[in-house]
């Protein structure tokens, strides 16, 4: 690796990367609705083998996991102990990284909860 | 005297208790499942509330310095985030199968119900036989799967028999299916559960769960041709033009604008679950239906004398 460090260390958590996990969750939510509506309209029933849905879900989970992991690595910068509440760059970074990590966890669970009905209800009603 | 205040909410809460229209006193498999889930949620919520309150009290009472920041954060992570996520996931997995409709086969009975301001048009469609028309009353055979096909004519309604199953919307231009199985014979009640106009709260119906063979006999007797007596009541019914909206099998009246009156004498209530099934109540309803149900879609007959209205009512009560 170059002296500029690994690629995920060159990325910097910002307010913009903070909203990535919830946006992925929202996107997956919309995708699920569209997928169910289109399957029901075109095929009259859920696909028996929902490859598109499984792929979309795995992609969303992977990206959320990735953003959480990056945030975790960045928040783990060594330094003074908690609480990190000063108006310094490093404390700001830690705060945003921690928030991103928490949002990633929430979004991960949110995506899983969106998926469960599809597994149990294979019916267009 | 203090206790009297406690009684008020209790009275309010139990005031709605009855056995004919209750999600707690069930007679169908679907409603039983829903009640089971509701019980688990209620008991679970009480247990979790107790745990949270206990933790809260312990944290507040703890002497200063006993709780470390780190231990507190670990607790928030496990009890505040991971625990609830796992519990909710488990509940979701447990409750979702209840939303799966019961499987049906082509030999199952279909009952079509159409909601209309402010009554119910009912058609029993036994497999391979001609539909039998009725209104404001639903009969179901005990121990058999029945598929309701629900729709509406004018505005949104919702079909709800609390003791039998969950509610299902009735949407104009769309047919929704609700599959049920009654488990206990008896007389029950259903209601419209979606605001649909002035008399929405007066739009109900009787539900009669019958032993399967009694149900078959009840359904079969309709195909035996019925000879209707032609007395003064029948003549008045003709003369007043009631047949422009109401059908009575065995006569020349076949209109389907208002409720089918072929077996009106059998109905347990008059006016879609609202009035007692007496000649007096029926006569009063005929002369001034809007006095019972504001916004009703049946014209009033103030010119009809009380005696004539009773004649018609007696005639209608005789239709079995
Ligand atoms: Cu209604």
Distance CA A108, CA A8 (A): 20
Residue with the larger pLDDT of the pair B165 and B8: B165
Indicate the pLDDT class of residue B130, thresholds 50, 70 and 90: confident
The candidate with the shortest Cα–Cα distance to B111, out of B137, B84, B75, is B137
Residue A3 burial class via C-beta count within 10 angstroms: exposed 0-12, middle 13-18, buried 19 and up: exposed
SS3 B169: strand
Give the residue extent of every domain in chain A: 14-120
φ, ψ (nearest 5 deg) of residue A61: -65, -40
CB atoms within 10 A of CB B63: 6
Interface of B with A in 251-280 (CB under 8 A): none
pLDDT digits (tens, 9 = 90+) for B196-218: 999 999 999 999 999 999 999 88
How many Å lie between the alpha carbon of A40 and the closest alpha carbon of chain B? 15
Contact B100 A83 (CB under 8 A): no
Which residues in A lie closer than 8 A to residue B98 (C-beta atoms)? none
Of B69, B96, B99, the CB nearest to A82: B69
Of A83, A105, A121, the CB nearest to B99: A121
Buried b (16+ CB within 10 A) or exposed e, B82-112: eeebeeeeeeeeebeeeeeeeeeeeebbbbb
Residue of B nearest to A81 (CA): B70
- Interface residue of A25, A68, A117, A120 to substitute, partner B, most B CBs within 10 Å: A120
Instruction: Note the ipTM here.
Output: 0.75
Q: Please state the separation of Cα B105 from the chain's center in Å.
A: 24
Contact A116 B97 (CB under 8 A): no
pLDDT digits (tens, 9 = 90+) for B32-89: 999 999 999 999 999 999 999 998 998 888 888 787 878 888 888 898 889 999 999 9
- Predicted TM-score (pTM) of the model is 0.83
Q: Does B99 touch chain A (CB under 8 A)?
A: yes
Which residues in B lie closer than 8 A to residue A103 (C-beta atoms)? none
Of A83, A121, A125, the CB nearest to B96: A121
Domains of chain B are 109-222 (2.60.40.420), 232-317 (2.60.40.420)
Mean pLDDT value across residues B280-294: 93
């Amino acid at each position: 690796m170059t002296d500029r460090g690994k690629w995920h260390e060159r990325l910097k958590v910002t307010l913009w990367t903070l909203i990535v996990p919830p946006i992925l969750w929202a996107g997956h939510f919309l995708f699920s609705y569209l997928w169910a509506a289109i399957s029901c309209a075109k095929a009259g029933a859920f696909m028996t083998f929902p490859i598109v849905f499984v792929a979309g879900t795995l992609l969303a989970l992977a990206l959320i996991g990735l953003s959480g992991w990056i945030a975790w690595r960045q928040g783990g910068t060594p330094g003074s102990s908690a609480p990190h509440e000063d108006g310094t760059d490093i404390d700001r970074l830690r705060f945003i990284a921690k928030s991103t990590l928490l949002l990633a966890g929430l979004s991960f669970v949110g995506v899983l909860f969106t998926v469960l009905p599809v597994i149990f209800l294979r019916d267009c009603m | 005297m203090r206790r009297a205040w406690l009684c008020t909410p209790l009275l309010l809460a139990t005031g709605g208790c009855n056995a004919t229209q209750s999600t707690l006193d069930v007679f169908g498999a679907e409603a039983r499942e829903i009640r089971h889930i509701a019980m688990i949620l209620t008991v679970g919520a009480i247990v979790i509330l107790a745990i949270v309150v206990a933790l809260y009290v312990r944290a507040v009472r703890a002497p200063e310095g006993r709780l470390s920041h780190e231990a507190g954060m670990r607790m928030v992570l496990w009890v505040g985030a991971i625990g609830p996520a796992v519990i909710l996931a488990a509940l979701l997995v447990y409750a979702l199968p209840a939303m799966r409709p019961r499987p049906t086969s082509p030999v199952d009975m279909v009952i079509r119900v159409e909601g209309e301001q402010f009554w119910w048009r009912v058609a029993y469609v036994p497999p391979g036989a001609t539909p039998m028309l009725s209104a404001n009353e639903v009969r179901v055979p005990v121990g058999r799967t029945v598929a309701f096909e629900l729709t509406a004519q004018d505005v949104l309604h919702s079909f709800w028999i609390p003791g039998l199953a969950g509610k299902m919307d009735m949407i104009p231009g769309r047919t929704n299916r609700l599959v049920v199985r009654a488990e206990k014979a008896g007389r029950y009640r259903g209601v419209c559960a979606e605001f649909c106009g002035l008399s929405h709260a007066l739009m109900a119906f009787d539900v009669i769960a019958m032993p399967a063979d009694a149900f078959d006999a009840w359904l079969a007797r309709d195909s035996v041709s019925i000879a209707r007596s032609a007395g003064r009541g029948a003549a008045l019914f003709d003369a007043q033009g009631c047949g422009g909206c109401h059908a009575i099998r065995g006569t020349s009246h076949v209109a389907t604008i208002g409720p089918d009156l072929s077996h009106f004498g059998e109905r347990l209530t008059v006016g879609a679950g609202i009035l007692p099934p007496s000649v007096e109540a029926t006569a009063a309803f005929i002369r001034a239906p809007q006095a019972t149900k504001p916004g009703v879609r049946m014209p009033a007959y103030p010119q009809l004398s009380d005696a004539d209205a009773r004649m018609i009512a007696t005639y209608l009560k005789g239709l079995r």
